[in-house]
Structure 1
């Protein structure tokens, strides 16, 4: 009888412990849910307050561009290292994009260990989405917060502060958690592509110029947001500068970085040796080869790939500019700006390269440097109005070249 009572007592104690454990687990789950909700609410409140502050600052600081069509907010968010680094003899990446391409910054900051200046184009109705995306990227990615300076450009229309107050619900519908922010930005249905903005002209050259004016370094590297430089390009280039004796006669030089296209979901080469192996196996190809082979042909890819292997970075050879070469290059930050008349697709980069040629610049190709475009450029990968825009800018380019004759009367060069 005593044994049965002892067993009953033990069973009762076990049952009580099980009940207490269940209650404990329920309480933990409840507390965790409350903590998550509180954190989400705190994040939402912090984001909302940031948006209000940014909008107030933008309305007081944003300026009209020279055409009077766009509002420009320079240094919307500066990099944390912008004022602490000695950037005088450094090189800064200059780039631009619409909001749904900002996710590329996460990978770009992993490959480029220096400063980046990016202009972001948005619309009046979606400027609060740009605010939220930039805020979240800076909160979630230390290298973006540390190294990237943001500038905002949008069409000139007045936006009342109350509009931002009323947009909070729209932002809360987006999953801007650190785990999902890149996916969310990638899938924003704000714009189909950079050049397809529901009738709003995409001012690529204005964006490039705005990003350039946010640079303090002696050198700049203007690339597209979906391109990646090879690993250590910045440090290799800085070493190249230190080891080179550059006379005043050679100061008007731009350093061409050969550009390639990498297929989607392919392993990304980080060194020239890896790149050449994939090149030989048709894993990568010269940039724009399907759309405009002549646009990159003067880079002379065959000579570049057959260079003798060596360590470090140097000039492999120089090439005379010929139409329609539009190389990517590292240059001094005081080279001619981009002509802001060019919008949408066509002749926006080549017009500036053309001016470099007429102004007397020399094009020197670097031996162990390269950049990769993520994905092949194909004829079917463009928006429907691309050919119409290209034709319009072609006529504009003719007038631009005529104007260079007046701007550089002593130059014998033509393009």
Structure 2
């Protein structure tokens, strides 16, 4: 009887708690209260990292001052979930802001991994307009640029629903050039604003010009000009790629666009690429890399070609040409695009022909996860893609050009004189070439027990031939010729 007498009060107490809980859930608080509850709830759950907290900040941030506070809190929370790269030089912050449809895209067969510096983020809307699937974007954002990037993400997600739906954001910066709480206050003027007032580029330019103290901006400028903080392209490519959840991944640059969507073509070429990857031609090949033909464009009205016919018309009028045709022809020479242009297939994504790999080839390709990483010791410009393609070849991967689909690098045809006049790029290229010649090429030969492309040269010493891999003396490195071609590097 005593137990029954106690059961009734406990039952009443339980029902009261349930009613109170339901009242809290269905209460209709004001906008600021909703916002506070979202931030509090998301950031306090043990199984949720900084990524959802970051998404909440960008999604519901309203007032300028609260945005500053949220940026400071976001930064402190995110740092707890960061990790260092292999050298301990860079801090990597993963999934800071997540795509709305991330769970859906996790089941897609193909993910696009893209990397960019903050000043290039205005190109993202144009890129997303040509690719309908998942995008993993790695942004290099040292110092105050991290907070400016977060503020700009808020603008992009507000004004471009596709970006909000498709793009998951990751960030990286040197451990010694991280932001601080005072930097967050520099973004207090940023809000989404009206999307029809300024274009993405104008918004970003205004942001970078007006935000941040002159001292903070000068520190970053000096580090870049003195080569103390070169852009780590390969690190950023790896960060973007490793956070793709699909079986296949491709890593174009942010200004390399897929064909313009064509309502008269169903499925679209981009969707056709995913269909091809589900076909036996793709699934039955264990070590295949499917290459996308790459062109550079200079259309007077900044119009993208929508299919191969339009691309060929652009080529005929001088609006398109093989990527780096004048600057560095070896970049795409192995693709034999003149041969590709003559093929009749223009509507369906399928295999065109196998590519005979040539040294210095820099293909943009689709491959399965698990292919060799980009070597992160290459920083700055030069030797970043071709050294990875060289390792792919040594590791037994074969390259196959795809029909119908292609990439367009926008906007402008590259001229050799412009590239040769860029002193900083020449310095970075020379540094990376020396590293490849004296260190990396020998590492790869030893790792794969192969010199398949005869890159290693035999030298005479005491009237005997010896392999440079086994030589303890560093090889002589000749300077790069003014033509820009990598000849006789050893």
Where on the TM-score scale, by shorter chain, does this alignment land: which range?
0.7 to 0.9
Compare 219-228 and 264-273 and name the one that shifted more.
Answer: 264-273
8 Å CA contact 2:151, 2:191 repeated in 1: no
Cα deviations across residues 134-163 of structure 1 (Å, max 9, x unaligned)?
Answer: 222123221111100111111113757532
Equivalent residues, number: 370
Instruction: Output the CA distance in 2 between the equivalents of 1:264 and 1:302.
Output: 20
- 1:309 and 2:345 correspond: yes
Give 2:415's match in structure 1, choosing from 361, 373, 378: 378
Q: Structure 1 pair 63/364, CA: closer, same or farther in 2 (3 Å)?
A: same
Task: Report the counterpart of residue 160 of structure 2 in structure 1.
Answer: 141
Task: Report the counterpart of residue 251 of structure 1 in structure 2.
Answer: 286
Q: Structure 1 pair 383/71, CA: closer, same or farther in 2 (3 Å)?
A: farther
Structure 1 segments, 4+ long, off by >4 Å, are 158-161, 173-177, 189-192, 195-198, 245-248, 410-415
- 1:274 and 2:291 correspond: no
Which TM-score applies when normalising by structure 1? 0.82
8 Å CA contact 1:91, 1:234 repeated in 2: no
Task: Report the counterpart of residue 395 of structure 1 in structure 2.
Answer: 434
8 Å CA contact 1:91, 1:218 repeated in 2: yes
Q: Structure 1 pair 336/79, CA: closer, same or farther in 2 (3 Å)?
A: same
Instruction: Output the CA distance in 2 between the equivalents of 1:281 and 1:160.
Output: 48
Instruction: Output the CA distance in 2 between the equivalents of 1:412 and 1:100.
Output: 40
8 Å CA contact 2:234, 2:376 repeated in 1: yes
- 1:81 and 2:101 correspond: yes
8 Å CA contact 2:143, 2:180 repeated in 1: no
Instruction: Output the CA distance in 1 between the equivalents of 2:283 and 2:389.
Output: 22
SS, match of residue 321 in structure 1: coil
Task: Report the counterpart of residue 5 of structure 1 in structure 2.
Answer: none
Instruction: Output the CA distance in 2 between the equivalents of 1:387 and 1:101.
Output: 21
Q: Structure 1 pair 393/174, CA: closer, same or farther in 2 (3 Å)?
A: farther
Give 2:72's match in structure 1, choosing from 33, 46, 52: 52
- 1:95 and 2:100 correspond: no
Instruction: Output the CA distance in 1 between the equivalents of 2:251 and 2:270.
Output: 13
Task: Report the counterpart of residue 387 of structure 2 in structure 1.
Answer: 351
Q: Structure 1 pair 123/161, CA: closer, same or farther in 2 (3 Å)?
A: closer
Q: Structure 1 pair 327/235, CA: closer, same or farther in 2 (3 Å)?
A: same
Task: Report the counterpart of residue 368 of structure 1 in structure 2.
Answer: 404
SS, match of residue 426 in structure 2: helix
SS, match of residue 385 in structure 1: helix
Uncovered stretches (5+) of structure 1, i.e. residues with no partner: 1-40
Q: CA deviation at 1:245?
A: 4.3
Q: Structure 1 pair 259/164, CA: closer, same or farther in 2 (3 Å)?
A: same
Q: Structure 1 pair 270/46, CA: closer, same or farther in 2 (3 Å)?
A: farther
Cα deviations across residues 376-402 of structure 1 (Å, max 9, x unaligned)?
Answer: 223425743111111111111122121
Q: CA deviation at 1:273?
A: 0.5
Instruction: Output the CA distance in 2 between the equivalents of 1:323 and 1:294.
Output: 8
Give 1:172's match in structure 2, choosing from 189, 194, 197: 189
8 Å CA contact 1:136, 1:181 repeated in 2: no
Q: Structure 1 pair 42/117, CA: closer, same or farther in 2 (3 Å)?
A: closer
Instruction: Output the CA distance in 1 between the equivalents of 2:332 and 2:450.
Output: 28
Cα deviations across residues 306-354 of structure 1 (Å, max 9, x unaligned)?
Answer: 0013531111100121111111111112211100000001101111001
- 1:150 and 2:169 correspond: yes
SS, match of residue 103 in structure 1: helix
Q: CA deviation at 1:123?
A: 1.6
Give 1:61's match in structure 2, choosing from 81, 87, 93: 81
Q: CA deviation at 1:95?
A: 1.1
Which TM-score applies when normalising by structure 2? 0.70
Q: CA deviation at 1:49?
A: 4.0
Higher relative contact order (CA 8 A, sep 6+): 1
8 Å CA contact 2:269, 2:348 repeated in 1: no
8 Å CA contact 1:359, 1:411 repeated in 2: no
Instruction: Output the CA distance in 1 between the equivalents of 2:449 and 2:120.
Output: 41
